Structure 1
Amino acid sequence: MKALRLLRWSGSVLSPRTRPCLVHLLQQPLSNRRFLSAAASPLQQAIQYQDQEHDAEEDLWGSSQAHKGDDPVIPEDMPQSLQQEARLRALPSPPLSAAKSSAKLAALHARLSFSPRLPIETLARCLVDATADSNPDFNNTSLAILGRDLYSFYTSEAILCRYPRLPTAVVFAAMAAYIGPKTLTQITKEWGVELVAEPGGEVDPGYLQCRREDSMLIRKHSPDSDTDPTSAVEEGQPPIAGANRPNAEQKSWRRGVSSMTVYDDEFGDLVKGSARGGRSKAATTTVEDACARFVQAVMGAVYLHRGKNAAKLFFKEHILSRHLNVGKMFEFKQPTRDLSRLCAREGFESPVARILSETGRATRHPVFVVGVFAGREKLGEGAGSSLNEARIRAAVGALKGWYLYSPLEVRVPSDVEGANARPWKPVLVDIGEIIV
């Protein structure tokens, strides 16, 4: 497999503020410039501005108030400190130069054990949500999209190669447990990142910049609700072909596993909005979504600046190192029937339940131990206060023993990437879960 040259295609992801044309920027009039305090070494004391082309930006981003170039007119006789403060308050997000003097950013950079190859300015950009600054050159939208795809790829291959027989519903639950919004929010708290009360150019760039929505205005979508998030189309925008589920107006149909795999996200949930992964145009967001995009953006920044080996190591240290008990995610409705169907599919003898031991049959608290056998092979056993309970627990144990099979040497497809990669050894691909 050929290795991609990141510098050839990451220009649209990395911020252009890291390589501004200083001469061109300084020649622009004050009303057409956006303050930018990321100075190069020869002009550290000079005030720099970033060019804003009003017509091109209006065609690209629409009528967003944050990018119309309506900077306030600052009198020239105002003191220099007050001018700089006024420009800072006019910005939707902190300037780039503030990252160098932020103690919170330096502490976070050191806490995550990042090398100098990952600039602290990029880490500051990861903390700017699209609801705080809608300009994609200054927010973490592009980095979050890349990081989300990397998280999904590494997590799915780790789960499927470790447990190749897991049902699809359990795979979705394991994906949500590893990289779901709740988990990423907890990781944000563990990293010591705090949310700002209100974003702006004058706040410390070490805070997570986002505009939080009122919890009383959040509408929770349910299967019985009148509106479907997948059929929502932004006002004034034509529907995107293939973005919505066919026959979405049918509310009484059950959402099956195939629909969850093809049309829904990596967790099997309904996709919010009509364009998955597109630029967010929402004015506010929830805390979980903002924290999730921040952690995903950090992953994308590590991949771009340090390569895929460092990104995979970062994933193992912060995501895969968490203990997850997959056995508690199963929920069988009729385990005895499922076990009988499994034995018939695999060519085993019909399962038979037998009492292995018992105690206190005539007392108030009896205990029965029942085993499930297929011929002379014991598939599982379980204990309960009644024979039926012990038989069901034995069937559940047998099914978990089948689904939780794991090979001795777990290898994932991403292990073959790199100069020192070993030859690929195929892994087990199961025929699928039990269909009743």
Structure 2
Amino acid sequence: MAGLLRSPLVLARSSICASAVRACQPALTRTFLINVKPTKKSKLEQGETINSTIASTPELKDKDSKYRIEQPSPAVVAFSHRMGLNQLKDQTLVMRIITHASHERVGVQTNERLDYLGSKILKMFVVEYLHTKYPKMPTDMQQEVVEAYTRPDTLSLMAKEFGVEDVARWVRSKPEMGHQLTLKTVKASIVRAMVGALYIDQGPIKARDFIHAHFLSRKLDLAPFLKVEEPKRYMSSLMKRLDREHPVARLESETGRNSKAPVFIVGVYSGTEKMGEGFGYSLKMAEFRANKDALTKYYLEEHKDFSLPSDAEVEGTVYRPTKVGDTQVIV
């Protein structure tokens, strides 16, 4: 028992030594990895980054520095592929096509120039097609048909089919401008800008093919565009100029002459050739329609196999010139 007891002095020394040993132990060090999110760059820094990128990229260095390059949205990309605009060599034209002149933003190009160019190209190829396919069509009638194909109402309906409403960029006119810009006008400008972009980027044949596929492929009733007030007199002058026999109206069939709703069918003949046919509740109306039908068949005679003047631009195609059609009779 005596050996197990220690004096207070010994115990104090042992306590001091133990404290010194604990104080001399090496401290444990821990390393923490902190992910710091980059702060948003200011507009000035962003502009400097874009400028440095353009300066280091040969493809972008040639671009006009005052216009900024915009990235198309998924809707614009889908629209571009659907309309074949993804084949454009200059893909910056896609954003320019859908941007109306009313979209006032600094550094953004609009479709104003492409719209003007496209309107002229559109009318040129429509006139070429009508002039070649219907060589006898009167000039005033041709002007109205061209207007029917290219007027804003027609282009607006086509733009709706193309899906232009989903990608168009425009701003309504300000009240102090005195007029209100409509979506129909914007959609028509975008369609014309598409034609202008194809012409300037892909050449005239690509623009012509686009017009034939989306414009001239639509069926249009041309008969109402031939406006003649006196078709009988007009028909007589036409046969005289063509050195043909004078037109004669003949009653071919009738029903209910003495009833409240009679019907007469009249044919117009030049010699033995039947030129036209018409019906009506009176002989006078049936004769009027028969002469109108004869004039319509003459002036809207189609050439089935013909070459367009623009075919001369197609490599490997032999262009066969067509004769200039007949002119309208002056009564």
Amino acid at match of 2:71: A
- Structure 2 CA distance for aligned equivalents of residues 324 and 111 of structure 1: 25
* Secondary structure, counterpart of 2:251 in structure 1: strand
- Structure 2 CA distance for aligned equivalents of residues 153 and 414 of structure 1: 11
Contact 1:351 1:374 in 2 (8 A): yes
- Structure 1 CA distance for aligned equivalents of residues 154 and 232 of structure 2: 34
Kindly report which structure 2 residues correspond to 1:104-143, keeping only aligned pairs within 5 A, or say none: 104-133=75-104, 138-143=109-114
Contact 2:267 2:276 in 1 (8 A): yes
Give the number of equivalent residue pairs. Answer: 281
CA deviations on 1:247-275 (whole Å, 9 max, x unpaired) are xxxxxxxxxxxxxxxxxxxxxxxxxxxxx
* Secondary structure, counterpart of 1:128 in structure 2: coil
Distance 1:188 1:429, change over 3 A: same
Distance 1:357 1:36, change over 3 A: farther
Counterpart of 2:69 in structure 1 is: 96
Counterpart of 1:327 in structure 2 is: 223
Distance 1:192 1:34, change over 3 A: farther
* Larger CA deviation: 163-172 vs 107-116: 107-116
Contact 1:336 1:395 in 2 (8 A): yes
- Structure 2 CA distance for aligned equivalents of residues 320 and 311 of structure 1: 13
Give 1:298 shift: 1.1
CA deviations on 1:9-42 (whole Å, 9 max, x unpaired) are xxxxxxxxxxxxxxxxxxxx96xx8997995596
Amino acid at match of 2:198: V
Give 1:134 shift: 8.5
TM-score, scaled to structure 1: 0.58
Distance 1:348 1:323, change over 3 A: same
* Secondary structure, counterpart of 2:249 in structure 1: strand
Counterpart of 1:89 in structure 2 is: none
- Correspondence 1:310 to 2:206: yes
- Structure 2 CA distance for aligned equivalents of residues 296 and 114 of structure 1: 13
* Secondary structure, counterpart of 2:235 in structure 1: helix
Give 1:213 shift: 6.5
* Secondary structure, counterpart of 1:356 in structure 2: strand
- Structure 1 CA distance for aligned equivalents of residues 104 and 48 of structure 2: 13
Distance 1:208 1:176, change over 3 A: farther
- Correspondence 1:421 to 2:282: no
Counterpart of 1:165 in structure 2 is: 136
Structure 1: segments with no counterpart, 5+ residues? 1-28, 44-48, 53-92, 196-205, 219-283
- Correspondence 1:393 to 2:289: yes
* Secondary structure, counterpart of 1:383 in structure 2: strand
Amino acid at match of 2:170: Q
Structure 2: segments with no counterpart, 5+ residues? 1-42, 58-62
- Structure 2 CA distance for aligned equivalents of residues 134 and 289 of structure 1: 20
Counterpart of 1:411 in structure 2 is: 307
Which has the larger Rg?
Answer: 2
Contact 2:133 2:304 in 1 (8 A): no
CA deviations on 1:26-72 (whole Å, 9 max, x unpaired) are xxx96xx89979955968xxxxx9866xxxxxxxxxxxxxxxxxxxx
Contact 1:38 1:97 in 2 (8 A): no
Distance 1:137 1:146, change over 3 A: farther
Distance 1:106 1:119, change over 3 A: farther
- Structure 2 CA distance for aligned equivalents of residues 96 and 325 of structure 1: 45
- Structure 2 CA distance for aligned equivalents of residues 36 and 296 of structure 1: 32
* Secondary structure, counterpart of 1:96 in structure 2: coil
Amino acid at match of 2:188: A
Give 1:390 shift: 0.7
More helix by share: 2
Contact 2:257 2:263 in 1 (8 A): yes
- Structure 1 CA distance for aligned equivalents of residues 138 and 200 of structure 2: 34
Counterpart of 1:346 in structure 2 is: 242
Give 1:354 shift: 1.1
* Larger CA deviation: 393-402 vs 374-383: 374-383
Give 1:285 shift: 4.0
Contact 1:109 1:123 in 2 (8 A): yes
Contact 1:118 1:301 in 2 (8 A): no
Match for residue 192 of structure 2 among 270, 282, 296: 296
Match for residue 259 of structure 2 among 359, 363, 370: 363
TM-score, scaled to structure 2: 0.75
Counterpart of 1:190 in structure 2 is: 161
Match for residue 432 of structure 1 among 308, 313, 327: 327
- Structure 2 CA distance for aligned equivalents of residues 432 and 134 of structure 1: 51
* Secondary structure, counterpart of 1:323 in structure 2: coil
Distance 1:304 1:34, change over 3 A: farther
Contact 2:137 2:300 in 1 (8 A): yes
Give 1:164 shift: 1.0
Amino acid at match of 2:119: R
* Secondary structure, counterpart of 1:129 in structure 2: coil
Amino acid at match of 1:309: I
Counterpart of 2:168 in structure 1 is: 207
Counterpart of 2:233 in structure 1 is: 337
- Structure 1 CA distance for aligned equivalents of residues 162 and 251 of structure 2: 52
